[in-house]
């Protein structure tokens, strides 16, 4: 069930603050009952929605209200005690742990999944293989035209688009791809959400979108062996020249085996010392049921064993 938390968040908080003691007694805070508000990186909204729906179906007395926002805002909400549980793509820093401990709370974190950053292009763009160096040069503005990638390309100017400037995707691009170099100053756009990134690339022939890989799965394919038909997903190579032999798309096996170069970990962060609903939902994410949702979403589970087997397909 989709939640209109962007609009209703303030109203929900007001409702909680006005509730009386008798109302609070009716729903005890236990691992399987109560009400919590959590923050989550907007990149993982589809997966978190599925996790919450199954958890609430299994435990009808539990209610989890998510706030989907940028990674910067996710951490701000957690560190200012607006929420006690968060899903993001980085662990606590040493300074953040010290801040939390100074408030007499205990920072707890664990990795729930391994994800990937995907590059998407327009369906009609034939240049669907890039090297890591080419991507870095595109991000930093050294490459500004498709003809610099392929002299035979009919496309000219290249445009680059993210979800928003405070997202985990932008942080990954700066830290792990650009290695500290600044992003390009021209022809780079923020669309606001991952969905809008897909729509922009689908409508813009020369665009490259940088997006969380969990957003590009084909909802009609239960095997996770294909991607969205709205866009093309770029295959990446660590070598000097990208070829079909050395280039990989962000399929689960290639993420797990580290063949695909742009991967990241997803963390559950907890500042609640109580053994209540926060702890219960954390344990659920790490359980068989919680990790199966992550597997079906195209990411790699990290708390349950996964077996990868080579398969030969014959005509």
Residue 124 has pLDDT above 50, yes or no: yes
- Structure-token match 């600044």, residue found: 182
Residue closest to 85 by CA, chosen among 122, 37, 149: 37
Residue 120 pairs in a beta bridge with: 209, 233
Phi/psi for 57 (5° steps) reads: -65, -40
Can you give the pLDDT at residue 272? 85
pLDDT band at 150, cuts 50/70/90? very high
Q: Is the pLDDT of residue 229 over 50?
A: yes
Q: pLDDT tier at 16 (50, 70, 90 boundaries)? A: very low
Given a cut of 70, is residue 14 above it in pLDDT?
A: no
Burial of 115 (0-12, 13-18, 19+ CB in 10 A): buried
Checking if the pLDDT of 217 tops 80, the result is: no
Determine the average pLDDT of the residues in 121-147: 95
Which two three-digit tokens encode residue 310? 């080579």
pLDDT in tens, 82-108: 999 999 999 999 999 999 999 999 999
Return the DSSP state at 214: G
3 state DSSP class of 32: coil
Lowest mean pLDDT among 57-61, 78-82, 116-120, 191-195: 191-195
pLDDT digits (tens, 9 = 90+) for 247-305: 999 999 899 999 999 999 999 999 987 789 999 999 999 999 999 999 988 889 998 77
pLDDT in the model for residue 223: 53
In order of their start, the domains of the chain are 5-114+265-301 (3.40.190.10), 115-263 (3.40.190.10)
- Mean pLDDT throughout 148-157? 92
pLDDT band at 135 (very low <50, low <70, confident <90, very high): very high
Res. 8: pLDDT tops 50: no
> Helices 45-58 and 288-296 sit at what angle, rounded to 10 degrees?
150
Instruction: Name the pTM for this structure.
Output: 0.82
| CB contact at 8 A, 251 and 225 | yes
**Which pLDDT score is estimated for 6?**
41
* pLDDT band at 310; cut points 50, 70, 90: low
The continuous run of DSSP H or E covering 69 comes out as: strand 62-69
Query: What pLDDT sits at residue 28?
Result: 85
Per the model's pLDDT, the better-predicted residue between 39 and 273 turns out to be 39
Write down the mean pLDDT value for the chain.
Answer: 87
The tokens for 48 are: 């978190």
Give the other-Cβ count within 10 Å of 90's Cβ.
20
Tokens of 115: 């994800």
> What would the mean pLDDT of 219-229 be, rounded to a whole number?
62
How buried is 109 (Cβ within 10 angstroms: 0-12 exposed, 13-18 middle, 19+ buried)? middle
The CA distance from 159 to 143, in Å, is 10
Residue recorded with tokens 């290695």 = 179
pLDDT of res. 22: 45
Instruction: Give percent above pLDDT 90 in the chain.
Output: 72
């Amino acid at each position: 069930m989709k939640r209109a938390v962007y609009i209703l968040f303030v109203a929900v908080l007001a409702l909680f603050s006005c509730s009386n003691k008798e109302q609070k007694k009716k729903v005890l805070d236990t691992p399987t009952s109560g009400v919590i508000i959590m923050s989550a990186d907007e990149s993982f909204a589809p997966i978190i929605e599925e996790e919450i729906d199954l958890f609430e179906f299994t435990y009808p007395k539990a209610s989890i209200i998510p706030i989907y926002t940028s990674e910067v805002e996710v951490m701000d909400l957690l560190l200012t005690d607006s929420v006690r549980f968060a899903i993001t793509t980085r662990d606590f820093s040493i300074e953040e742990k010290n801040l939390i401990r100074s408030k007499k709370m205990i920072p707890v974190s664990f990795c729930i999944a391994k994800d990937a950053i995907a590059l998407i292009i327009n369906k009609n763009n034939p240049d669907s293989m890039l090297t890591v160096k080419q991507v870095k040069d595109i991000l930093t503005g050294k490459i500004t035209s498709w003809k610099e990638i392929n002299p035979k390309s009919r496309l000219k100017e290249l445009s680059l688009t993210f979800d928003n400037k405070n997202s985990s995707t932008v942080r990954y691009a700066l830290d792990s791809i650009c290695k500290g170099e600044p992003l390009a100053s021209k022809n780079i756009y923020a669309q606001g959400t991952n969905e809008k990134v897909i729509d922009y690339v689908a409508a813009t022939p020369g665009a490259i979108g940088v997006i969380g890989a969990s957003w590009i799965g084909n909802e009609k394919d239960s095997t996770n062996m294909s991607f969205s038909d709205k866009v093309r997903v770029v295959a990446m190579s660590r070598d000097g020249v990208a070829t079909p032999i050395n280039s990989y798309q962000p399929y689960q096996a290639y993420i797990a085996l580290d063949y695909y170069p742009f991967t990241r970990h997803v963390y559950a962060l907890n500042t609640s010392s109580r053994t209540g609903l926060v702890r219960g939902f954390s344990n659920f994410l790490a359980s068989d049921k919680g990790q199966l949702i992550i597997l079906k979403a195209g990411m790699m589970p990290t708390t349950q064993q996964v077996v990868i087997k080579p398969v030969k397909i014959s005509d």
